Amino acid sequence: MVRNPLGVVTRLPRATARLPRMAPDMSRLPPGRMVTLPGGVRTRLHDTGEEGLVPVVLLHGMVATGMLNWYQTFQRLRGEYRLITFDQRWHGRGYRGPFSFDTLADDVHRVVDHLDLPAPVLGGYSMGGMVSQLAARRDPSRFAGLVLAATGTGAERNAVEKVTMGGFTRASPLLNAVPEEVAEEIQDTVEDDDEATSPHAWALRELSSTPVATHRTVISEVARFNSTGWLHELNLPVAVVKTMRDLAFPQSLQDEMADLLPRSAVFPFEGGHAGCATRPGTFARRMRTGIGWVVSESGVRTRSSGPR
C-alpha cells in the first residue's frame, strides 16, 4: 500500500465539504454506461445522445475521469452539441490493458467508430489534448477540428524542461487529490451515506477511482511526447484554450503549439492547470467559444436549442 505523502487521511472529512468547487447538477448529467469498443476495449462512456447536433468528443486529463473533467461543460453546452466523454485507460472505469498515448489515440477512433459519429469535434484537456493531437494526426479527415485546453507540444526537449519533468515524476504521488490508500475509506463512507448520490460523494468516488500508480506512467508519456515535428501537417481548425497561469504547461508551450498549427485561434483563460476544477463555469464558457469557432471554421452545421 502506498503511504500518503500529504498525511491527509485525518483531514479528509473536512475536505469533503469543499468538493467539488462548483457542485454539478446531477440531474443534468447523462448517466455513464459500460461499452465494449472494437478490439474488446471496455470503458465507461457518457453521451447526451442528441443525434441532430454536432458531436463533440471530450478527453479528460490525468487523474480525472471523463465526467469529472467535463461536468460543467456538459451542463452548460447540453442542447447545443451532442457531448460525449469516456474514461481513458487506467482512469476511472477505463480499460486496464496496455497503456501509451498511442493506445489512447486508438481508443478515440474506437469510440468514433462505435458511435458512428460523422466528423466530430475533438476536445482534449492536458493529457487529453496530447492524445487529441495524436488521434487527429492518424486521420485528420475523421474530425471537424480540435479544441485543445491546458496542453502543449510536449516536454523534456531541453535542460530546463528535463529538470521540470523530473520533479513532476518524482513528486507524482503528490498530484492525486485522493491518494490510493484513502480510496477504500472514501468508498465505505459514501456507501454508508444516505446522500451517497450527492455531488460531493460523486466527486470523491470519481477522484478515488484513479490509482496513484497511474501517475508515474502518464507523466513518463508526457515527457516522451513531442508534436513539434508534425503539428504543421494538421490542416484542420484548432481552437487553443490557453490557460494563462499554467505551471504544468507554460504559456511558451501553448504558444508554440498555436504557432505550429496552420489553422488555429487562441482563446485565453485566466486560470491555472486545474482551471477546469477551480473555475469550472468560466472554463465551460471558454470551451463554448472554442467549439463554436471550430464548428464555424469547419462548415459543419448544428441547430442550437440552448442559451448562449
Give per-residue pLDDT as tens, 160-189: 455 445 544 454 444 444 333 333 443 444
Give per-residue pLDDT as tens, 120-157: 999 999 999 999 999 999 999 999 999 999 999 986 66
Give per-residue pLDDT as tens, 77-130: 999 999 999 999 999 999 999 999 999 999 999 999 999 999 999 999 999 999
pLDDT of residue 220: 85
Give per-residue pLDDT as tens, 282-293: 999 999 999 999
Integer Cα distance of 81 and 35 in angstroms = 21
pLDDT of residue 45: 98
Asked if 145 and 298 touch (Cβ cutoff 8 Å), the reply is yes
pLDDT of residue 122: 98
Integer Cα distance of 57 and 47 in angstroms = 9
| pLDDT bracket for residue 13 (50, 70, 90) | very low
Spatial CB neighbours of 130, under 8 Å, sequence gap ≥ 6? 101, 124, 151, 154, 221, 222, 225, 227
pLDDT of residue 4: 31
Q: Name the more confident of 28 and 241.
A: 241
At 270, the amino acid letter reads E
Give per-residue pLDDT as tens, 54-86: 999 999 998 889 998 999 999 999 999 999 999
pLDDT of residue 8: 32
- Tell whether pTM > 0.85: no
| pLDDT bracket for residue 21 (50, 70, 90) | low
Percent of the chain exceeding pLDDT 70 equals 76
Q: In sequence order, what are the beta bridge partners of 269?
A: 243
Integer Cα distance of 67 and 265 in angstroms = 26
Q: Pick from 288, 238, 266, 276: which is nearest to 81 by CA?
A: 288
Percent of the chain exceeding pLDDT 90 equals 58
Task: Look at residue 36 and tell me whether its pLDDT is greater than 90.
Answer: yes
pLDDT of residue 158: 53
Task: Look at residue 191 and tell me whether its pLDDT is greater than 50.
Answer: no
Q: Where are the beta strands (DSSP E) in 54-210?
A: 55-59, 82-86, 121-125, 145-149
pLDDT of residue 161: 53
Task: Look at residue 224 and tell me whether its pLDDT is greater than 50.
Answer: yes
Q: CA-CA distances (angstroms) from residue 107 to 59, 98, 116?
A: 11, 12, 14
Work out whether strand 82-86 and strand 41-47 pair parallel, antiparallel, or are unpaired: antiparallel
